[in-house]
Amino acid sequence: MKRNRILLIIGSLVICLSTTGYAGTKALMEKLCTKCHGLENPFSLKKNRADWEAIVALMASRSKDINTEDQSKIVDFLSEVRNIDTPILTAKDENNLTEIERIHIPVINAPISVKANSKAKIQVQVSEVGHPMTPDHYIYAVDLYVDGLWMDMVELQPKQSANVEFEVSVHKTSTIEVIVHSTVDGHWAAKTIIETAPE
């Protein structure tokens, strides 16, 4: 049985392929990979580049739709955002952020408590001061995890607002984690907890 999927609500989401960074690779994977399995399969894993090359090559051997160029894009993307050796950075002191932390630590606005088995809106502001969204330096993706399980990823483009909103089903008290991916400064995470009250 498939895990409950979340609804993604984002007013100006642009999905297109680009030569800048990794923009559009998730959309490409949705087109090519979900014919056989959901994106939770690769996105829930963390592997080194050699492992991703082997996995994607195997998938490509089973599908005539995945050409060499697409295969390379997917390997590059997964090797960056799902690399077992890539550090996920967090605030060392949440009450005293450094300048680089203030630019990159995502701000999660979520209800403190909801009824069990109900939906909760999770708004994500990419940093408290706003991250640059220039062609050379921008947030190219925002990941959402619930209790350590990957739920979805939003792709972003330069000049686009880096604020996104998710809606997720909450069945029990859950830890919400958001990871933002910067083209220059790596991967940054923050967590919050949504408590559940009786229905």
- Indicate the CATH number for domain 15-81: 1.10.760
Give yes or no for residue 3 having a pLDDT over 80. no
Segment 13-53, tens digit of pLDDT: 333 333 345 668 999 999 999 999 999 999 999 999 999 99
In three-state secondary structure terms, 16 is: coil
Cα–Cα dist 95/115, whole Å: 30
Q: What's the rounded mean pLDDT across residues 120-136? A: 91
Give the number of other Cβ atoms within 10 Å of residue 144's Cβ: 22
Mean of pLDDT values over 5-16: 33
Q: Retrieve residue 112's tokens.
A: 């403190």
| Domain boundaries of the chain, sorted by first residue | 15-81, 88-197
pLDDT value for 65: 92
pLDDT of residue 23: 67
Reply yes or no on domain 88-197 having CATH 2.130.10.10: no
List, for residues 91-113, the tens digit of each pLDDT value: 999 899 999 999 999 999 999 99
Taking alpha carbons only, the member of 56, 9, 6, 5 closest to residue 33 is 56
Q: Which two tokens stand for residue 73?
A: 């894009």
Q: What is the pLDDT of residues 50-81, one digit of tens each?
A: 999 999 999 999 999 999 999 999 999 999 99
Average pLDDT for residues 130-157, to the nearest whole number?
Answer: 92
